[in-house]
Structure 1
Amino acid sequence: MLHRYQRVDDSVSTGDEDPCPPCVDCFQARQAKIARFIQQGEEVHFVIPAFPAKSPNKKKVLGALPDLGELMALNFLQSMCDYVGYFYSPGARVTICSDGHVFSDVVGVTDNAVTAYRESLMACIKAANLTSLDLFGLDDAFGSSDYPRLREILERDYAVSLHDLRNSVRTDAGARSMFNGIHRFMYEDALARGQNDGSSKTKLRNESKDAAFETIRRSNAWSRVVAEQFPEAIRLSIHPQPPHSEKFGLRLMPTRDGWLTPWHGVVLDDGNTRYLAKRWDAEKLGASIVWRNGLPSHFVAPHLTLNS
C-alpha cells in the first residue's frame, strides 16, 4: 500500500535513466525494523515529523487552525494503519512528531499559535476516533513548555553547525533538493510579508535563504531527537526522499505539487476529486469557501468538472 503514496525525490539521480520505482532495495532499507516488530508480535510503529502549524502566509491557507486538509491527512494515516492490521493482526500505529515549536520563531508563527494548532489536531483525532494516531512534541521530549529554552537545548545538544549544513547542501544532492524545496516556501512567505514593508525581492530572497537553512538545521536536530526517543520505529517523512532512503517519503493526500502539505495549502473540491492547492490558485479558479462549525474548511469549484 505505502508505495502507492511514496514521495520519491526524482531530482536525486540513482544512475538509472528513469526515476526509481518501488524495488527490492527500497524495501530492504526498512526490512530489519519491520522484521523486528513481526518477530516480537508487536504493532508496527511509524513516526512522522509533521503537522507543525499553519503557514503564516494567508495567500496559501484558510486560517491558523486545522481544516479539511489536516482531517483528510489524519484519516489517511489511520487508514494506513487499518490496512496493515488487515494483513497483520497486531496492526500499526503512527506517532506524529509535531515540529511546530522546533522552528516556530524562524517561520513567523507564535508558540501560542502552534499550541492552539496542536490542541485542535488532538481534538480532531479524538472526534474522528483515530485510535492508531498519537502526538509527540518538543515539550514531551524535554518535559517543559518553556519553548525558547527548549529550542536552546535542541540546538546545543542535537544541531550541527550552520557551516556543516551549508557544506552538505553544496555537496549532497539530497540535501540540496531539500534546501531548494524549503527555500521556495520561505521565499513565497517572505514575498507576502514584504509587500507590507516595501522590502526588495533580493533582500527577501537572501533572508528566506537564511531562514531555510535555520529551519532545516532545527528540523534535522528534531530528527535526531525523534530517533533517540523512538529508535525502533520506521521513519516516515512528508518530504520527497531519495530512492532507497531509510526514510519513506509519504504523500498524505493528492496534490499536483510534490512538496505541498495541508499546512501549506487548502483542499480544493472540483466536483470530481479533492486535492491540495494553494489558496491563491483556488481563488483564481473562482472557487468558494465551505464553512464547517464556524470555521473555513475547504474550497469547492464544481464548475471545473462541468466545464472540462
Structure 2
Amino acid sequence: MNEKTSPYIYPFRPFLHLNIAEENARFSEPQTLPVEGYSSWLERFAPEINVTPAATIEETIFSIFADDAVRFGELAFVTDLREQWIERIARFTSQGRMLEMTILGFPYKMPVPLKTNRKLADFGEVVSLARLNQIGRAITRVYAPGARSHVFTEGPFGAFNGVSRADSDVYFASLENLLVRFGLNQHVALHDLNAVVDANPDFAGVWADTAKDIERRRDAGDQKVLDAIRDALPVRFHNLANPGVADLDLARAYRRDPAAQELIDSIQRRAESGVVTYRAFLEARDRVQLLERVAPEALAMTVSPRPGRLGVRSLPPPAQILPYHGVTVIARDGQGMDISYLWDLRRSGKGYTPLRLDGDTDPAPFAYIES
C-alpha cells in the first residue's frame, strides 16, 4: 500500500489519465468463476503470517503487529509504545480471553463513476477481509483462545458523501455474504456502524456538538485541526456523489480545468463542509468510546497509522488505493494485484478479461485480470 501515510485519513492517490477522454483499453468476454476459482489468488494476496516465538506470549502477539508483512506505517509508531501494547494484550491473555481488535473501514462503494461502477463489495474487499482473518489465524496458532477483528463499516459517512442509507445497507449485506462464502468469518466480525449509531442515541448529539467545536478550533487557527482538514480535503473532494454530472465533466473538474469552475466550486463547498462532519464523527466516536461499547478493551487497528493505533496493510503491495475506491485488477501471471480507478483502467491501453463471481448480483465485474 501507499507508504505515504496520514494520522487523520488514508491519503488520496491522484488519477493517472484524467487528460485522456477516449477509452483505449481492450476487454475480452467476461468469465464467471466460483469461489474456488479465486482461492489461489486469495492465498497469494492474503498469505499466512509467519510468527516467531518470543519470550512471552504477549511479546509474540505484539511481534505480529510489528511485522513488515502486517504493519502499515512507521515501525516506531508500534515499537515506541511496546510496553503499553504488551500490557493491553496481557489484559486478555492473563484471563485466557479471546483477543479482540477493532478497525473502521468498508463504508460503501464510492459514488464516483470515475472510480468504480459497482454497488456491492468485490474481490478487493475479500482480500482485505482475508488479511484481517490471517491476523486472527496467526494469533490463534500461538494463543489457543484466539483472536477476532471487529470491523465497523463506515456507512454513516454516506450522510456527507451523497450515499443513501439503502445503498450502504446493500453494500454491508454484500460484505456479510462474501465473508461467509469465502470462509473468512472465523476471526472477523462485521458491525454495521449505522446500526451501532442507531443503538446509541446519545451519539448524534455528541457528533453535532463536536462539529461545532471543530469549526471553532478551525477558525481559531488550531494547527492540529488545520492539518487534519488539509489531509482529508483531497479525499473528500474526490469521494462526493455528483448526480447528473457527465463523466467527462467530472474529469474536467478533477483536473481543475477552468472550464469546469462552477462544478469545482460546488464540489469544494460540499467537501469543506463534509470534512468537518467527518472529523467530528471520529472525535465523537472517541469521546463516547463508541467502539468500546461493542468491543471493550479491544486493540485499535487503522489504515491511518499513528501512535496509539496499530497500522495494518489492508492490501499487498503495490496496491495504493483502498478497495472500495476502485476496481480490482489481477496481474496477468496471477502473482500480483492492484486497485485501479475505473476511468484509468479504461484508458490504460491494456487488455483485460472481466471476471465475475457466480451468484454475484452486481452487473459490474467482480475483478479484472490482465490479458
Which TM-score band (shorter chain)?
Answer: 0.7 to 0.9
1:75 to 113, 130, 142: 130
Select between 87-96 and 201-210 the one with higher mean Cα deviation: 201-210
| Aligned equivalent of 1:58 | 113
Aligned equivalents of 2:85, 2:328: Cα separation in 1: 32
| Aligned equivalent of 1:241 | 305
- 1:156 matches 2:205: yes
Unaligned runs of 5+ in 1: 9-18, 145-149, 303-308
The residue identity in structure 1 corresponding to 2:269 is N
Q: Decide whether the 8 Å contact of 1:59 with 1:192 is kept in 2.
A: no
Q: Decide whether the 8 Å contact of 2:78 with 2:310 is kept in 1.
A: no
Aligned equivalents of 2:316, 2:243: Cα separation in 1: 28
The residue identity in structure 2 corresponding to 1:74 is L
Query: What is the CA-CA distance between 1:39 and the residue it aligns to?
Result: 0.6
Aligned equivalents of 2:301, 2:212: Cα separation in 1: 27
- 1:299 matches 2:368: yes
Query: What is the CA-CA distance between 1:73 and the residue it aligns to?
Result: 0.8
Aligned equivalents of 2:343, 2:329: Cα separation in 1: 11
- 1:212 matches 2:275: yes
- Write out per-residue CA displacement over residues 163-203 of structure 1, whole angstroms, 9 at most, x where no aligned residue: 43242695355x55543443212212348658449633133
Aligned residues: CA RMSD: 2.8
2:222 to 137, 154, 171: 171
Aligned equivalents of 1:194, 1:216: Cα separation in 2: 28
| Aligned equivalent of 1:252 | 314
- Greater share of residues in helix: 1
The residue identity in structure 2 corresponding to 1:164 is D
Query: Any idea what SS the aligned residue of 2:107 has?
Result: coil
| Aligned equivalent of 2:38 | none
Aligned equivalents of 1:132, 1:20: Cα separation in 2: 25
1:104 to 141, 145, 158: 158
Select between 61-70 and 25-34 the one with higher mean Cα deviation: 25-34
The residue identity in structure 2 corresponding to 1:61 is T
TM-score, normalization by structure 1? 0.79
1:201 to 264, 275, 291: 264
Query: Any idea what SS the aligned residue of 2:102 has?
Result: strand
The residue identity in structure 1 corresponding to 2:316 is P
Q: Decide whether the 8 Å contact of 1:159 with 1:217 is kept in 2.
A: yes
- 1:86 matches 2:141: yes
Q: Decide whether the 8 Å contact of 1:49 with 1:97 is kept in 2.
A: yes
Query: Any idea what SS the aligned residue of 2:277 has?
Result: helix
Which is higher, the Rg of structure 1 or of structure 2?
2
- Write out per-residue CA displacement over residues 32-65 of structure 1, whole angstroms, 9 at most, x where no aligned residue: 2111111111111001122111111121124010
The residue identity in structure 2 corresponding to 1:229 is V
The residue identity in structure 2 corresponding to 1:59 is L
**Identity over aligned residues, as a percent?**
19
Q: Decide whether the 8 Å contact of 2:109 with 2:120 is kept in 1.
A: yes
Aligned equivalents of 1:279, 1:181: Cα separation in 2: 24
TM-score, normalization by structure 2? 0.67
Aligned equivalents of 1:137, 1:93: Cα separation in 2: 16
- Across the two proteins, how many residue pairs are aligned to each other? 280
- 1:284 matches 2:347: yes
Q: Decide whether the 8 Å contact of 1:155 with 1:218 is kept in 2.
A: no
